[in-house]
């Protein structure tokens, strides 16, 4: 195990050497010390936080994979997917939501770019826009389900538990919606921390990690949009 | 620490994602047969997801072992899907 002199020393001086022993590992990945994480033979300059987020994202991908698989199997073997009285999904509206998430992914990478280059105002602006994009997506999803200024899918007869079509739709899209909500809260915290000046001087690691989560939410939506919304109904 | 900032690349990828989304919706309205439509949609989604992973999530800049340890687990559900959905559809067929 290769602990760096710099980060270990900083961690020790921060938390006291008493319970660390000679090496001080265990704490050296906390705080912002890993901005100086040394290049590793296998993982390059990827910080432990980043690798941890990737582990989580892989497990999360399997959760989505499980839901989509169940949906695919049910749909593949059904003879009638849409029952009479159930509405079609609005492709144009959700294409707009897809576009919104792609935009917020772009503002996220731009926020990270600004953090790397230590441009405070730009970083705050793009972080704010990313949070806004996520919030608008949630409003859009609320409108799709419940209707704002018009009937939502529930009013039109797509009711959870009434058919495999309805149940898989609500399960998958709301699971994704939970991720968007989590991302909005997560990025709001990052925004506040940026406002407090915690990412000054090119400390971009936390922003990059938050960005990984946010891009993953976008990536999953690309898959969900394609397979839940765009794949046409079984010919009847 | 190497910082992988390339604003031009980000905007190009944004353009690609936008164009492919338009293309996806367009393909649905074109009214082509079900199987080629499904293949086209899957391919487009895969390209879009790969773009996000490589460029926005910076996988392009990570070491190959990190890239592979992410790509392999992420591709497992796709293999399951291929096999299990095909099996489900096969059982439905009127033999």
Is the CB of residue B77 less than 8 Å from the CB of residue B71? no
Are residues A60 and A31 part of one domain?
A: no
Q: Do A167 and A89 share a structural domain?
A: yes
Asked if A121 and A225 sit in the same domain, the reply is: yes
Question: Mutation test of the interface with chain A: which of B3, B46, B57, choosing the one with the most A Cβ atoms within 10 A?
Answer: B57
Chain centroid offset of residue A113 CA: 18
Q: Which residue has the higher pLDDT, B70 or A235?
A: B70
Average pLDDT over residues B5-15: 92
The CA–CA distances, whole Å, from A103 to A54, B15, B78 equal: 22, 10, 26
Q: Counting beta carbons within 10 angstroms of the beta carbon of residue B83, is it exposed (0 to 12), middle (13 to 18) or buried (19 or more)?
A: exposed
Alpha-carbon distance A86 to A24, whole Å?
61
> What is the per-residue pLDDT for B92?
78
* A235 in any annotated domain: no
My answer on whether A104 and A26 are in the same domain is: no
Is the residue at A61 inside a domain? yes
Q: What is the pLDDT of residue A7?
A: 46
How many domains is chain A partitioned into structurally?
2
Q: Do A58 and B28 touch (CB under 8 A)?
A: no
Comparing B77 with A134, the larger pLDDT belongs to A134
Q: Determine the structural domain holding residue A17 and report its residue range.
A: 5-36
Smallest CA–CA distance, residue A72 to chain B, in Å, is 6
Question: Does a structural domain hold residue A43?
Answer: no
Contact A230 B18 (CB under 8 A): no
How high does pLDDT run on average in chain A?
Answer: 84
What integer pLDDT is reported at residue A37 of this predicted model? 60
Residues A145 and A203 in one domain: yes
Beta pairing partners, A40? A44
Q: What is the pLDDT of residue B84?
A: 87
Residues A56 and A23 in one domain: no
- Which of A17-21, A82-86, A93-97 has the least mean pLDDT? A17-21
Are A45 and B88 inside 8 Å of each other by CB?
A: no
Q: Report in angstroms the alpha-carbon separations of A46 from A28, A94, B53.
A: 14, 35, 15
pLDDT digits (tens, 9 = 90+) for A188-236: 999 999 999 999 888 889 999 999 999 999 999 999 999 999 987 655 3
Residue A42 lies in a domain: no
Output the CA torsion sign for A64, A67, A70, A73. negative
Are A99 and A193 found together in one domain?
yes
ipTM of the complex: 0.90
Q: Region B62-66: what's the mean pLDDT?
A: 88
Q: What chain A residue is nearest to B85 in terms of C-alpha separation? A: A73
In this structure, the answer to whether residues A144 and A194 fall within a common structural domain is yes
Contacts of A202 in chain B (CB under 8 A): 3
Same domain, A16 and A111: no
Set of chain A residues whose Cβ sits within 8 Å of the Cβ of B63 = 42-44, 46
Compute the nearest-CA separation of A231 from chain B (Å). Answer: 6
The CATH number given to whatever domain includes residue A154 is 1.20.120.80
Same domain, A14 and A124: no
Most confident segment among A171-175, B34-38, B54-58 = A171-175
pLDDT at B33 over 90: no
Q: Do A123 and A167 reside in the same domain of the chain?
A: yes
Q: Are residues A32 and A71 in the same domain?
A: no
């Amino acid at each position: 195990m290769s602990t760096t002199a710099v980060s270990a020393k900083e961690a020790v001086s921060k938390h006291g050497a008493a319970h660390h022993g000679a090496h001080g590992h265990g704490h050296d990945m906390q705080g912002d010390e890993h901005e100086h994480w040394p290049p590793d033979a296998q993982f390059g300059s990827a910080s432990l936080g980043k690798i941890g987020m990737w582990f989580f994202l892989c497990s999360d991908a399997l959760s989505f994979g499980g839901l989509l698989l169940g949906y695919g199997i049910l749909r593949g073997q059904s003879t009638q997917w849409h029952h009479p009285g159930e509405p079609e999904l609005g492709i144009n509206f959700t294409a707009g939501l897809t576009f919104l998430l792609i935009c917020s992914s772009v503002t996220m990478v731009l926020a990270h770019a600004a953090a790397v280059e230590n441009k405070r105002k730009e970083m705050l602006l793009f972080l704010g826009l990313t949070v806004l994009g996520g919030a608008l997506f949630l409003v859009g999803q609320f409108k799709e389900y419940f209707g704002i200024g018009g009937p939502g899918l529930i009013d039109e007869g797509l009711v959870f538990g009434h058919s495999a079509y309805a149940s898989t739709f609500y399960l998958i899209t709301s699971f994704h919606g939970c991720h968007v909500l989590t991302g909005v809260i997560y990025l709001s915290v990052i925004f506040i921390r940026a406002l407090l000046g915690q990412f000054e001087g090119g400390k971009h690691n936390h922003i990059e990690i938050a960005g990984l989560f946010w891009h993953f939410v976008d990536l999953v939506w690309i898959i969900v949009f394609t397979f839940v919304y765009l794949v046409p109904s079984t010919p009847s | 620490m190497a910082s992988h900032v390339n604003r031009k690349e980000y905007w190009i990828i944004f353009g690609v994602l936008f164009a492919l989304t338009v293309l996806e919706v367009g393909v649905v309205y074109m009214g082509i047969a079900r199987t080629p439509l499904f293949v086209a949609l899957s391919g487009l989604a895969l390209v879009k997801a790969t773009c996000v992973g490589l460029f926005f999530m910076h996988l392009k800049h990570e070491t190959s072992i990190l890239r592979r340890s992410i790509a392999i687990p992420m591709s497992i559900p796709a293999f399951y899907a291929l096999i299990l959905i095909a099996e489900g559809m096969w059982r439905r067929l009127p033999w």
